[in-house]
Amino acid sequence: MAANYTAADIKSLRESTGAGMMDVKKALDEAEGDLAKATDILRVKGLKGVTKREGRSASNGLVRAHVDGGVGTLVEVNCETDFVAKNPKFGELADQLLAQAVAVEAADAEALLASELDGKTVKDIVDDANAGLGEKIEIRRVARVEGDQVVSYLHKTMPDLPAQIGVLVATTGGDQQVARDIAMHVAAFAPTVLNRDEIDSTTVENERRIAEETAREEGKPEQALPKIIEGRVNGFFKENVLLDQAFAKDAKKSVGQVAKEAGAEVTGFARFKVGV
């Protein structure tokens, strides 16, 4: 029996659903060329696979950022393969999710997923994408950073993939250039906190204990222990605390010093790296 649909129908259905060529043809055959029915068939077939994909790892994806004045929003959307990560449909979904996060002022993934867009929850929209793209799709993280001035920086780890590292930095004073330089630094050096006060005392004491035990194990002289321990704890701070880190463009200065010299103060930041 001759197919009662055209190449244009196949193209249209592929573009609207993101489904593969063979799946589209089978759906059109089953629906006898009815595009609306074929769309439903693809959706049902895809959603059946959503549950099967729940346990699979979504460690690829992208990061998107939006800044408006003193408010920045960062969204990480994950998928299973880099093939889907560079699919235009996946990129369009990420843009839609970012816009929604901005609109509802979401500060975490839960708030974004629970919000409603065009009569559906964002979770339903992600499930539909999961079905259409044939992979596990998830919103992994959302961050919202506010300050007098916020800048964003997106970094591609591979030239043929979308940005996989995203940074927001909030500053008071200074200019956009120093803020952007600090954002690029954050992308490269992955600090975990802004300042020392954000590291709880239990963690610091544990680092101090490890430093002392290590120094004793190495046979360091007793009188030298306090200085050695302090040096190693400071090393821990320099590794994790943004303001204490050696600045990427001038390792002789800390990020805090660079900001101060530029008349700026860093008041907050967020950093996402896909899958990390």
* pLDDT at residue 155 tops 90: yes
Whether residue 185 sits in one domain with residue 83: yes
Q: Are residues 102 and 165 in the same domain?
A: yes
Condensed to tens digits (0 to 9), the pLDDT of residues 91-114 reads 999 999 999 999 999 999 999 999
Residue 175 and residue 41 share a domain: no
Residues 110 and 154 in one domain: yes
Q: What domain range is 21 assigned to?
A: 7-53
What pLDDT band is residue 40 in, cutting at 50, 70 and 90? confident
| 42/66 same-domain check | no
- pTM listed for this prediction: 0.77
**Do residue 49 and residue 64 come from a single domain?**
no
Give strand pairing partners of 94. Answer: none
Query: 230 vs 195, 207, 236, 244, CA distance in Å?
Result: 17, 10, 10, 15
Structural domain tally of the chain? 2
Beta bridge partners of 144: 73
Beta-carbon contacts of 240 under 8 Å, excluding residues fewer than 6 positions away, are 191, 192, 193, 199
Query: Does 268 lie in the same domain as 166?
Result: yes
Q: Kindly report the number of other CB atoms within 10 A of residue 137's CB atom.
A: 27
The enclosing domain of 268 has a CATH number of 3.30.479.20
